[in-house]
Amino acid sequence: MWRYTVRRLLQAVPVFIGTTLLIYAMVFALPGDPIQALAGDKPVPENVLRTLRDKYNLDDPLLVQYAKYMWGLVQGDLGENYTGQSVSEMLGGRWAVTAQLAITAWIFELLIGIVLGVWAGLRRGKLADTLVLGGTTLVIAVPVFVIGSLAQILFGLRWQIFPTAGTDDGWPMSYLLPGIVLGSLGLSYVARLTRTGLAENLRADYVRTARAKGLSRTRVVGRHALRNSLIPVVTYLGVDFGNLMGGAIVTEGIFNLPGIGQQVFQSIQLKEGPVVVGAVTVLVLIFLLVSLLVDLLYGIFDPRIRYE
Amino acid sequence: MTAEPRKGDLVPAPRPDAPLLQVDDLHVRFRVRGQDVRAVNGLSYTLAEGETVAILGESGSGKSVAAQAVMGILDTPPARVERGSVRLRGVELLGLPERRRRAYRADRIAMIFQDALTALNPVFTVGDQLREMYRVHRGLGRRAARDRAVELMERVRIPSAARRLGDHPHQFSGGMRQRIMIAMALALEPDVLIADEPTTALDVTVQAQIMRLLAGLQDELTMGMVLITHDLGVVAGVADRIVVMYAGSVAEQSPARDLYARPAHPYTRGLLASVPRLDRRGGPLVPIAGAPPDPAALPPGCPFHPRCPRAEAVCAVERPPLVTVAPGHDAACHFAAEVHAEQEVPGAGSV
Amino acid sequence: MSEATAVAAAGGEVGRASLWDDAWRDLRRRRVFWGSAAILAVVAVMAALPGLFTATAANEGCDPNISGLGPSGDHWFGTDIAGCDLYAHVVHGARPTLLIGVAVTLFALLIAVLFGTLAGYYGGLVDTLVARLTDVFFGLPFVLGATVILVAFPGHGVWAMTLVLVLLGWTTMIRIMRGQVIAVRDADYVRAARLLGASDGRIMARHVLPNAVAPVIVVATLNVGNVIVGEATLDFLGVGLQYPQVSWGLQLGQAKDSFLDHPHLLIFPAAFLSATVLSFLLLGDAARDALDPKLR
């Protein structure tokens, strides 16, 4: 396990550098003035442009720019908006909201997703299976922002089961509906992965062995088959966190939750490019970090991987 | 060995005078994509304590399915035990509700499988999988279960057992893995052990070790053993009786010595002729022509007749019953007596 | 039921036919396959020849006085906030949506098949390079990555958008392709071909590729749906296509401030978008079931 951990950590280094360099190059190194480009067609005063060029070290060679940018990032400096406001200050109080939303979504999709997956996997080819497969396909086909908007109309306005928007009711009430919306896509994949994995593992030799050992069905399914079926689910959790971060922008926008995502959402409308770049870069970094953690978790979950 | 009372014994009462394991007229069918596959069609055999019965057959002959039906671990559906009886010391197992049936599994009848790499759960340590036997069936605590697990591993001669308890199956060699499989099956000291091709996945040298280990443990525990194999070589040294299966039913059954010396079924004769034997070298090997029948479309009459060198008109029409050619020696062939009377297996005889 | 049995038995009889023949025979019997194919055919015609469905051009005949009307005889799907006919807009929205979905997937598939095969077949340095590069791009989630890149690219059109999405969308397929090629690379028939002196190029084209590509094709089909959803999300956020372009995602984005009062602005484009995506997903699922008999 120790060797596996070290190897994964070492592998993560080039990914962190490569990914951030990629973003940086795409945003700041393309022809034209990146600061003006980030503002779209919005006019930016010449002195602001100059300050920002200076702030982002755009007169240095690319790698030096990148190194300085990254150094700032590590120290919590995410750049500056056209108004001279620090991006990290703009995001300051918003982390808690996004974290609560993401955790709500994660709990929802794991809990319900695994339950639905087990239900369908045990009844492969029966009505339950068809329902879960059909339902999850539908959820995957409908974009999160449509699900969110419909949920807001129906559950928030029409039936008034949940608050329509904002965080006035605190956690969990204000976060339930957005969390379900945000987690719906992940739930679909978790359910499908669990279902396929379980249906396959139920036919595995070691499940037959477990039955021959005289174990109860609950134990055969719950301990032996399910444990193996959840391995792909764990792998998926890393990828899913990326979807979750992207979905948070949409969901926080729709439900008016004052988190990082909403800041990105509003900054896109207001054409505040530097804020979008700073905030999204941080979200990508968080995603990479979570992926790394999930990878390490995977080593615990599937002992075979440790000895490759 | 059986000092402590066992929960399986409570109801219905076993009869100590009844045979240890008696399988009678067992029929198993599968429904696979609308097709009816008749995997086992009337298998019968009896096993006494301390005895080894080998069930010999090609792949697809239904021998593994029959074993799983005896264990009660077939997937139903698609499988269905259509009729027949499986009695352990006189107690009928086939009609028992799953809860009661479960109490017999591993405790009274245990099974080991062909490929220990896939038959052991890859994500749990072997210690976990061994301890589970004691924790679930005997209600032992963690420590006690662990100690018993170490004892078990020592019993099947796994070096430095205590240290390897925390290892996962893929960290063991093939032979060691099969030993763990055996240890797990013997954890509760069952009366009957069903070994389904226990050495097929192993190297020849390791095969011998495993067979010797099994034989030793069988003696120690006075277990009855059902050895399922396609390999005449594995059977030779250990089996007391041999049941030859073809297309899901018994082609021939006999004490081991008799079968080798004077087979009474053309199929058995063909099997013997197609295998190199140390005691009869020099002769040509004669393979059996054709392929085993598709269990979804068995031929009418004797299932072996399309491949049989001595088939006559009657074989395609009438299914031969088991006839006794010598005490304890039966064969399902219209010409069993004639085949039995012939002295040598053709092709294997000329020195 | 008995007919299906007979067909199954016949399929079993000619079991030596290739994987693709079997898959096609299997697909032909699936209603889901024909349903999805029919929906996609309609959408494809809509994208290619919008004139067949509506005489109104995009952004034409808009009248601010009739903004936000519900469905009626004159305007089947009602009108949007600018007073444009929503039906005409939905018809015209098919082209960019479908074009981006299919083009992104095709280019990504091309990259995945080409470099995945090379990396898997040759191994060594090429493989390491491709694998590391894949890791880097995989570190950029689709929507996040596209958002940050597109923000720096104002005024991009369909093709710039395609380019950015291809950049972010090839990693999953290349990983699968590479894994498949590695699995096939050492198969006996590939070794036999090598012993008979076939060139690397020939072995890859004739023996490795046909046996390795099936799962990637399945994923590609599913991927078209995912790209369409991703593109619509970017339009919705305001970093995707921009007015005066017309796309389903853009219509949904324009509806976001008014759908509480005018739900039809959300429902019609969403229904078309979802039906299209659903068709690709079901098509991919059906193809997977057909190509992978052990999952049946």
How do residues A110-155 score in pLDDT, each as one tens digit?
999 999 999 999 988 889 999 999 999 999 999 999 999 888 888 8
Mean pLDDT of C23-52: 87
Q: Tell me which chain B residues have a C-beta less than 8 angstroms from the C-beta of A206.
A: 118-122
Q: What is the mean pLDDT of chain A?
A: 86
Asked if A142 and A238 sit in the same domain, the reply is yes
* Residues in chain A, total: 308
User: Is the predicted pLDDT of residue B9 greater than 70, yes or no?
Assistant: no
Interface predicted TM-score (ipTM) of this complex, two decimals: 0.86
CB contact under 8 A, A228 and B122: yes
Indicate the residue of B73, B104, B110 with minimum beta-carbon distance to A208.
Answer: B73
Angle at CA of residue A87, ends A84 and A93, nearest 5°: 125
- Give yes or no: residues A37 and A171 share one domain: no
pTM equals 0.84
Chain-chain contact of C153 with A37 (C-beta, under 8 angstroms): yes
How far apart CA C205 and CA C222 sit, in angstroms, is 24
pLDDT digits (tens, 9 = 90+) for A250-261: 999 999 999 999
Please give the residue range of the domain that contains residue C112.
3-295
CATH number at residue A234: 1.10.3720.10
Do A216 and A277 lie in one domain? The reply is yes
Share of chain A above pLDDT 70, in %: 99
Q: How confident is the model at residue B221 (pLDDT cuts 50, 70, 90)?
A: confident
pLDDT in tens, A71-96: 888 888 888 888 888 888 888 889 89
Give which of C128, C236, C272, C288 to mutate to test A binding, by max A Cβ within 10 Å.
C236
The CA distances from residue B265 to B45, B213, B271, B336, B346, in Å, are 17, 32, 10, 6, 13
Specify whether A178 is located in the same domain as A269.
Answer: yes
A43: helix, strand or coil: coil
Q: Quick: pLDDT tens for C39-98.
A: 999 999 998 888 888 777 777 777 777 776 777 777 777 777 777 788 888 888 899 999
Digit-coded pLDDT (tens) for B52-110:
999 988 877 888 888 888 888 888 778 888 888 888 888 888 888 888 888 888 888 99
- Token pair 């918003």: residue: A94
Report how far residue B14's alpha carbon sits from residue B16's, in angstroms, rounded to the nearest whole number.
Answer: 6
Provide the terminal-to-terminal Cα distance of chain A, rounded to the nearest Å. Answer: 11
Q: A136: which 2 tokens? A: 């999850």
How far apart (Å, rounded) are the C-alpha atoms in residues B147 and B141?
10
Report if residue A88 sits inside a domain: no
Angle between helices C214-237 and A127-141 (to 10 degrees): 50
* Contact with chain B for residue C8, Cβ under 8 A: yes
> Cα–Cα distance between A290 and B51 in angstroms, integer?
59
Length of chain B: 351
Which of B58-67, B155-164, B170-179, C273-282 is most confident? C273-282
The predicted pLDDT at position B343 comes to: 64
pLDDT score for A209? 92
pLDDT of residue C44: 92
pLDDT at A193 over 90: yes
A306 lies in a domain?
no
Residue of C152, C236, C237 lying closest to A37 (CB–CB)? C152
More confident residue, B287 or C113: C113
Q: Do A259 and A137 share a structural domain?
A: yes
Report pLDDT for B351: 30
Contact list in A for residue B115 (CB cut-off 8 A) is 205
Residue A279 lies in a domain: yes
Q: Is C4 on the interface with B (CB under 8 A)?
A: yes
Are B84 and B11 spatial neighbours (Cβ–Cβ below 8 Å)? Answer: no
Q: Are strands B224-229 and B52-56 parallel, antiparallel or unpaired?
A: parallel
State the number of CA atoms in the 13 A half-sphere of A239 facing the CB.
16
Say yes or no: B24 contacts chain A, CB-CB below 8 A: no
- Whether residue A202 sits in one domain with residue A73: no
The CATH number linked to C196 is 1.10.3720.10
* Residue C162 Cα distances to A32, C96, C159, C274, angstroms: 21, 10, 5, 20
The range of the structural domain enclosing residue A220 comes to: 93-301
Boundary (domain end) residue, out of A50, A77, A104: A77
Assess whether A138 and A226 both reside in one domain.
Answer: yes
Strand order in the sheet with B249-255: B109-112, B192-196, B224-229, B52-56, B241-246, B249-255, B329-331, B323-326
User: Does C55 reach chain B within 8 Å, measured CB to CB?
Assistant: no
What confidence tier does C273 reach under pLDDT thresholds 50, 70, 90? very high
What domain count does chain A have? Answer: 2
Put simply, the answer to whether A245 touches C144 (Cβ < 8 Å) is: yes
pLDDT attached to residue C61: 73
Contacts of A302 in chain B (CB under 8 A): 122-123
| Nearest residue, CB atoms, B123 vs list A214, A215, A302 | A302
- Rounded to a whole number of angstroms, the distance from the CA of C277 to the nearest CA of chain A is 5
C213 touches C291 (CB < 8 A): no
Residue A108 has pLDDT above 90, yes or no: yes
Count of CB atoms situated within 10 Å of the CB of C270: 24
- Residue B131 clears pLDDT 60, i.e. is over it: yes
Residue type, C33: F
- Would you say residue A212 lies in a domain? yes
Among A26, A48, A77, the domain-final residue is: A77
Residue C282 predicted with pLDDT over 80: yes
CA C264 to chain centre: 26
Asked if the Cβ–Cβ distance from B119 to A301 is below 8 Å, we say: no
Nearest to A55 by CA among A30, A75, A29, A81: A81
Q: Which amino acid is at A118?
A: V
For a pLDDT cut of 90, what percent of chain B falls above it?
7
What confidence score (pLDDT) does residue A106 get? 92
User: Do both A37 and A133 map to the same domain?
Assistant: no
Preferred mutation among C39, C133, C140 to probe A, highest tally of A CBs within 10 A: C140
The CA distance from A261 to the nearest CA of chain B, in Å, is 38
Residues of A in contact with C132 (CB under 8 A): 14, 18
Instruction: Identify the band that residue A109 occupies on the pLDDT scale cut at 50, 70 and 90.
Output: very high
Report d(CA A237, CA A219) in Å as an integer: 25
For chain B, the structural domain boundaries read 18-239, 263-350
Chain A residue at shortest CA distance from B129: A210
Distance CA A40, CA B270 (A): 86
Token pair, residue C83, equals 């007073």
Does any CB of chain C come closer than 8 Å to the CB of residue A260?
Answer: no
In sequence order, what are the beta bridge partners of B81? Answer: B28
Give the whole-number percent of chain B exceeding pLDDT 70: 91
CATH number of B18-239: 3.40.50.300
User: What is the phi-psi region of residue B41: left when phi exceeds 0, alpha when psi lies from -120 to 50, beta otherwise?
Assistant: beta
pLDDT of the residue at A84: 80
Distance between CA atoms of residues B119 and B86, nearest Å: 25
Contact with chain A for residue C153, Cβ under 8 A: yes
Choice among A118-127, A162-171, A209-218 with the minimum mean pLDDT? A162-171
Residue B198 has pLDDT above 70, yes or no: yes
